[in-house]
Amino acid sequence: MTDLTLTVNGKRVTRDVPGETLLSELLRETLRLTGTHVGCDTSQCGACAVHMDGKVVKACTMLAHQAAGTEITTIEGLANGELHPMQKAFNDNHGLQCGFCTPGMIMAGVDMVQRYKAEGKTLDEAAIRHELEGNLCRCTGYHNIVKSIQQAATEM
Amino acid sequence: MYPVKYHRATSVDEAKAAFTSASEARFLAGGQTLLPTMKQHLAAPSDLIDLRGIPDLAGISADGDGVRVGAMTTHAEVAQSAEVKEAIPVLAHMASTIGDSAVRHLGTMGGSLANNDVAADYPAAVLGLNATVVTDRREIAAEDYFQGLFATALEEGEMIVAVRYPRPERAGYAKQTNPASRYPMVGVLVAKTGGGVRVAVTGTGQDGVFRHQGLEQALSSDWSQGAVDGVEIGEEGLMNDIHASADYRAHLIRVMAKRAVAAS
Ligand SMILES: Cc1cc2nc3c(=O)[nH]c(=O)nc-3n(C[C@H](O)[C@H](O)[C@H](O)COP(=O)(O)OP(=O)(O)OC[C@H]3O[C@@H](n4cnc5c(N)ncnc54)[C@H](O)[C@@H]3O)c2cc1C
Ligand code: FES
Ligand code: FES
């Protein structure tokens, strides 16, 4: 066991966790932040997507200790009093059905909007579809997910 | 995953010392290959030595000769680097197509090359652009580095520090990806370099990445898509599996070579 300190959703946390602990396990089992879902556990589906220092990563394919000293944001940390524009857009556009993939879709969506903004590129429909290559949804057929991200991109 | 001891090194020397004192150590870069392998119990190191905090392995620098990419540079950093885009645009483009955005935020050039997956992209850049792999103990020419499936010239405990890419006169890369894994099934990099035309093919050789002499000869005399048509591309040495037959792969090499020339 080794001490690990990181910031999760703005709060500094220190925990004693074994080396093999995945970031997804730290979030869900130790910190009880179960909004980060584990779908495949093989780095394919993106349900576990969170932000590390503002960049999307798959929490099932990272050791908790790799996140030492970083700022992690999970789906629980997005809303700030009111829903984040990306969350609201998924609500407005019926961007989910069962909701299992949704936390990962939203975290990936926020990342792509921020990345395109920073690089001065336009995030059109084709770009959104391409950018979603690491996130799988078994329900919606993606159409309303794409619409949701398109709406949020204009509001963020 | 089996229990493992995690270390974070802050210098190359510290990482090497931690490696030698452990019973079965592995370096940890982005973890995008190593962690899935450990979850499947295909690897069970006693100790992981995280290289992310080592300043000597980070960063990209360019000069008139080319670009030096630190081993821990992520695919996303290579894709966005102004230096790489200016000097070797094909490398930035290639990096932008590896995996997905989450993988690109963690996966590194050193990790990809140390792993030498037959379906990885970067081996085509290293061999096709005639790059040099710089390690903690020597410099390894591209020609000597790749030694078959998941096999490289790296010795036990040898660490990739950086990769030096000479500036090509022009170069292009095109790939057909496997629709499920999104790894290249056939990737072809074509380059006009100071040392002549080089064509590297990844994703499809039974022994990993290879140079294609026929395509190199044809493109040396005529750098055009048409020149690719006249080249004989055999099935010998190509993989033949559930993803693609050898003759389909041979066909894809031709198509990707043409697209790579068009993109150059
Ligand atoms: C969903 C998904 C899709 C992907 N798609 C692609 C793709 O399309 N194309 C592609 O090329 N790759 C793809 N990858 C692989 C990805 O590029 C990996 O990041 C890469 O292969 C390994 O890099 P890493 O930094 O994660 O290394 P790690 O997984 O940390 O390490 C890999 C191996 O290299 C060793 N190692 C790491 N760094 C060093 C070093 N500096 N010196 C010596 N040894 C070292 C480690 O000990 C380990 O054995 C994909 C991965 C995933 C999860
Ligand atoms: S649970 Fe992490 S990618 Fe599927
Ligand atoms: S809404 Fe069910 S998996 Fe996407």
Q: Which domain holds residue B31?
A: 5-50
Q: Based on the domain organization, do B195 and B130 belong to the same domain?
A: no
Q: Based on the domain organization, do A70 and A131 belong to the same domain?
A: no
Q: Based on the domain organization, do A40 and A58 belong to the same domain?
A: yes
Q: Say what the pTM is.
A: 0.97
pLDDT at A44 over 80: yes
**Per-residue model confidence (pLDDT) at position A25:** 98
pLDDT at A13 over 90: yes
What percent of chain A lies above the pLDDT cut of 90? 97
Q: How far is the CA of A63 from the centre of ligand 2 (A)?
A: 13
Q: Based on the domain organization, do A68 and A130 belong to the same domain?
A: no
CATH of the domain at B89: 3.30.465.10
**Per-residue model confidence (pLDDT) at position B181:** 85
In tens, the pLDDT along A89-147 reads: 999 999 999 999 999 999 999 999 999 999 999 999 999 999 999 999 999 999 999 99
DSSP count for chain A of H helices, then E strands: 5, 5
Residue A117 — φ and ψ, nearest 5°?
A: -60, -50
Q: Based on the domain organization, do A96 and A140 belong to the same domain?
A: yes
Which of A78, A99, A127 is the endpoint of a domain? A78
3-state secondary structure of B76: helix
Closest ligand to A46 CA? 2
CATH of the domain at A97: 1.10.150.120
Question: What mean pLDDT comes out for the span B174-189?
Answer: 93
Place of tokens 């010239």: B153
Place of tokens 């081993």: B71
Q: Based on the domain organization, do A74 and A7 belong to the same domain?
A: yes
Q: Based on the domain organization, do B177 and B156 belong to the same domain?
A: no
**Per-residue model confidence (pLDDT) at position A98:** 97
CATH of the domain at A48: 3.10.20.30
Nearest residue in chain A measured CA to CA from B3? A20
As for how many domains chain B has, the answer is: 3
CATH of the domain at B192: 3.30.390.50
**Per-residue model confidence (pLDDT) at position B233:** 96
> A63: pLDDT confidence band, cut at 50, 70 and 90?
very high
**Per-residue model confidence (pLDDT) at position B182:** 86
Q: How far is B214 from chain A (nearest CA, A)?
A: 35
As for how many domains chain A has, the answer is: 2
Q: Based on the domain organization, do A13 and A62 belong to the same domain?
A: yes
**Per-residue model confidence (pLDDT) at position A1:** 58
Q: How far is the CA of A43 from the centre of ligand 1 (A)?
A: 12
E strand spans, chain A: 2-8, 11-17, 49-52, 55-58, 71-73
Question: What mean pLDDT comes out for the span A22-33?
Answer: 98
Q: Which domain holds residue A58?
A: 2-78
What percent of chain B lies above the pLDDT cut of 90? 98
pLDDT at B80 over 70: yes
Average pLDDT, chain B: 97
